[in-house]
Amino acid sequence: MKVIKINKKDWENGINQSKKEYQLFGPVKEKDNYIFKKLQLDEYPDMEHKDTLVSPKSILFPQTEKILQTNLDESIDDHHIMKQVKKDYSKRAVISIKPYDAKAIQILNLNFDTDEYKDPYWCEAYKATTFIGLAVNNPSVFDFSSSTNTGPFAEQGLDVLLIDCSKEYLAKVLTDKGQAFLDVAGFNQETDNKKAIEIINNMKKKAENAISSQISTQNLKDKNTLDLYEAPFWDDIAFSCINCGTCSFVCPTCWCFDIQDETKGNLSYRIRNWDTCMSPLFTLHASGHNPRGEKTMRVRQRFMHKLKYFLDKYDNGIMCVGCGRCVKLCPVNIDIRKVCNLMNSHEPDTDN
Amino acid sequence: MNKLTQNIRELSSNLLKNNKVDMVIGFKKGTIPMAVSPMAAHNIEQTKEFIWDSNCGINLANFISDKKEKIGIIAKGCDSRNIVTHITENKISRDKLHIIGVPCTGMIDKIKLQSNFNDDITDYSENGEDIIVKSGLIEKNLKKSDYLKSNCKTCMHRNPVIYDELAAELVQEQKIEDQFADVKKIESLSIEDKWNYFDNLLKDCIRCYACKNACPLCYCPSCFVNESNPQWVGKGQDKTDIKTFHFLRAYHCAGRCTDCGACVQACPMNINVRDFTRKLIKDSYEIYGWEAGLDITKRPLLDTFSLKDDDSFIK
Ligand code: SF4
Ligand code: SF4
Ligand code: SF4
Ligand code: SF4
């Protein structure tokens, strides 16, 4: 594996170069919050950024996305025929994405790109994107990514991993896509690979040790699904939940959406919007029946999906990358770490 | 343990012991610094989890809507006013409630507090009006009064307005020079600047609805934003739809909002949605002399009329 050295003095210049071929997305500070957005010509990714409130999944899976369109004007030949909305899928790169958010994109990929079904919007956007990660030297107190199959220096889902070594970045080139980006940016200063890897490994160890929060997931797979479903703790967990969409909307791995049709004049669009299993409307049937009519059922769904159904279906870990966003932002402090540990250690009451 | 916490535990456990209530609703300590979680204690053992500090800003009246059981509830000033509103709007009956009042000296704005530190806050404690906050790098002793939530700074009803017993002595109410300075500032903007102000205010809204769901007033079984037949408002990120949601929600709170600030506290995007409701509070007060949630014998403002009501706006 090749490691490239990028002097921080050359960073902005490289970003400018790459903008000639790529649309860039990166974290910037707006008002008092960090958000991921498309960078304008005079904007640069904030390389010191703390967690963005909302995850960068929206770059590939926007909160609101027009997917089909038609014209209702009957004088036009193909009126009322829904057609895929044409979009720009030219090359883009996400700069400074954290390793756990890149891992989350891989989880979303399991849902949107399967052998059976391919979501064209996701697949096209995914194909067009290069992921330039930034290793996390100082994990936040909410970060528990080292116990969710990723971590502050994890490489899964990334094309390049940048490591901030104060005066310079070391760039671990992980894929051809990553190499191509570095070439365009003009970052090509080779370095003593062995030494660089050693430095990176030391920093990695340090960062992993700085993560203070862990979850236990080792028993989840063997637990009986119905035992967990019927566990006595759900009412207690759900009591304080206000059924907002905060936890799902800020989550990098939640993938649910709703379909809406909207018309203005003769132009009609089919749109998909993020949805959340915490909302009663999510499962409301046209008949009026709601199979998840009670709050507890909805709270249980969120955790069962993330920590059990997903695990059972894909055998690929849990559907949480430990970013800690929901832990930090849930207004009533429902903490997935606590719920996960409860589920992981749950023994059904054998008396009845 | 602070005295207030001790008293709350004691009063709640007495209520449960004497079978006066089926549950007591209060706060328990959270899993991260400055977080608390509403909880219901059904037995004496569980009352040991109750705590009280300046992070208990979420409004507990939100957790009693339509409850059939007999409920004990811990209520600071604003919660008590929403309890009054709930009673007058028939969301709960007075005789189902045992209210443990908590005179309040204001709640903490944790975003403001965090903005004082370069790294995450790892520990928070308080001692009267002093707060001691630690991050990985530094420890600071701060005055609570410098970090109050903005609604607490202008609060005129720190003492509960209705209660069966108190967990502490009543406190002095604040004297506020200009209660509506913030609203006046927005009122004084030109129409265009006002538009830009609200545009910018709502720019980051993700329509998670934490604001409305944290609000005790937003108890409709199906909110207009969720209706699909007819559909009042689009559900996506269209700017007009986002504004429609916020404007309409604010109007639904007219004459009812107690300025508890739970909406703002719940918002993950740090949006001050009180900019809308505050204007309605000001109008209710200035035009009709009305403050929400003070008296269970009075009908809600928009439920009544008087021949003396100002009608100069009808032209
Ligand atoms: S768990 Fe928290 S963030 Fe999620 S819906 Fe419930 S209250 Fe909202
Ligand atoms: S469930 Fe919470 S901690 Fe896990 S990935 Fe989603 S937002 Fe992050
Ligand atoms: S947790 Fe809920 S919103 Fe998130 S992906 Fe699963 S079902 Fe969808
Ligand atoms: S809580 Fe904040 S982000 Fe969520 S809908 Fe309300 S204003 Fe928007």
Query: How close, in Å, is residue B315 to chain A by CA atoms?
Result: 34
A95-119 in b/e form (b: 16+ CB < 10 A) is bbbbbbbbbbbbbbbebbeeeeeeb
User: Alpha-carbon torsion B207, B211, B216, B217, what sign?
Assistant: negative
The size of the A-B interface in CB pairs under 8 A is 109
Any idea where the domains of chain A sit in the sequence? 3-209, 220-345
Establish if B97 belongs to a structural domain. yes
Sheet with B97-101: strands ordered across: B36-41, B23-29, B71-75, B97-101, B165-166
Q: Which of B168, B70, B150, B163 lies closest to B109 in space, CA to CA?
A: B150
Omega before residue A62 within 30° of 0, cis? no
The two most distant CA atoms of chain A are separated, in Å, by 72
Residue type, A302: R
Name which of A32, A141, A328 is nearest B122 (Cβ-Cβ).
A141
Chain segment B15-44, per-residue pLDDT in tens: 999 999 999 999 999 999 999 999 999 999
Question: How far is the C-alpha of A300 from the C-alpha of B151, rounded, in Å?
Answer: 34
Name which of B37, B111, B208 is nearest A332 (Cβ-Cβ).
B37
In this prediction, what percent of chain A has a pLDDT beyond 90? 96
The per-residue pLDDT of chain A, averaged, comes to 96
**Tally of domains within chain B:** 1
Tokens for A122? 């996701």
* CB-ligand 1 contact for A120 (6 Å cutoff): no
Question: How far is the C-alpha of A287 from the C-alpha of A13, rounded, in Å?
Answer: 59
What is the average pLDDT across B278-298?
A: 96
pLDDT exceeds cutoff 60 at A80: yes
- Ligand 1 atom closest to the CA of B268, numbered from 1: 3
Q: Which residues of A touch B (CB under 8 A)?
A: 30-33, 35, 53-54, 62-64, 138, 140-142, 236, 239-240, 242-246, 249-250, 258, 260, 262, 271, 273, 276, 279-281, 327-329, 331-335, 337-338
- Ligand 3 atom closest to the CA of A302, numbered from 1: 1
- Residue whose tokens read 């209706």: B227
Chain segment A124-178, per-residue pLDDT in tens: 999 999 999 999 999 999 999 999 999 999 999 999 999 999 999 999 999 999 9
pLDDT exceeds cutoff 60 at A66: yes
* CB-ligand 2 contact for A178 (6 Å cutoff): no
* CB-ligand 2 contact for A336 (6 Å cutoff): yes
Establish if B103 belongs to a structural domain. yes
Domain range spanning residue B173?
Answer: 3-109+148-303
Question: Do B27 and B50 contact (CB within 8 A), yes or no?
Answer: yes
Q: Is the backbone of residue B261 left (phi > 0), alpha (psi -120 to 50) or beta?
A: left
- Ligand 2 atom closest to the CA of A251, numbered from 1: 7
pLDDT exceeds cutoff 90 at A32: no
Of all residues in chain B, the one with the smallest CA distance to A282 is B226
Output the ligand 4 site: residues, CB below 6 A: B 205-211, 266-267, 269, 271, 273
* CB-ligand 1 contact for A293 (6 Å cutoff): no
pLDDT exceeds cutoff 90 at A65: yes
Query: How close, in Å, is residue B307 to chain A by CA atoms?
Result: 41
ipTM over cut 0.90: yes
Give the closest residue (by CA) to ligand 2 atom 5: A320
- Please indicate whether, in this complex, the C-beta atoms of A239 and B268 are within 8 angstroms of each other: no
Establish if B122 belongs to a structural domain. no
Q: What is the pLDDT of residue A352?
A: 53
Of all residues in chain B, the one with the smallest CA distance to A141 is B120
Provide the strand spans (E) within A151-202.
160-165, 168-173, 189-190
Residues of chain B found within 8 Å of residue A338, distances taken between Cβ atoms: 31
- Ligand 2 atom closest to the CA of A250, numbered from 1: 7
Establish if B142 belongs to a structural domain. no
* CB-ligand 1 contact for A333 (6 Å cutoff): no
Of all residues in chain B, the one with the smallest CA distance to A324 is B32
- Please indicate whether, in this complex, the C-beta atoms of A260 and B234 are within 8 angstroms of each other: yes
Question: How far is the C-alpha of A229 from the C-alpha of A335, rounded, in Å?
Answer: 18
Query: How far, in whole angstroms, is CA B4 from its chain's centroid?
Result: 20
Tokens for A67? 């997917």
Chain segment B37-76, per-residue pLDDT in tens: 999 999 999 999 999 999 999 999 999 998 999 999 999 9
pLDDT exceeds cutoff 60 at A3: yes
Query: How close, in Å, is residue B36 to chain A by CA atoms?
Result: 6
Residue type, A42: D
Establish if B126 belongs to a structural domain. no
pLDDT exceeds cutoff 70 at B157: yes
Q: What is the pLDDT of residue A351?
A: 62
- Ligand 1 atom closest to the CA of A329, numbered from 1: 3
User: Alpha-carbon torsion A8, A13, A16, A21, what sign?
Assistant: negative
B122 touches chain A (CB under 8 A): yes
Establish if B124 belongs to a structural domain. no
What is the average pLDDT across B183-200?
A: 97
B204 touches chain A (CB under 8 A): yes
Q: What is the pLDDT of residue B309?
A: 84
B209 touches chain A (CB under 8 A): yes
Q: What is the pLDDT of residue B308?
A: 85
- Please indicate whether, in this complex, the C-beta atoms of B208 and A328 are within 8 angstroms of each other: no
For an interface test with B, give the residue of A49, A264, A332 to mutate (most B CBs within 10 A).
Answer: A332
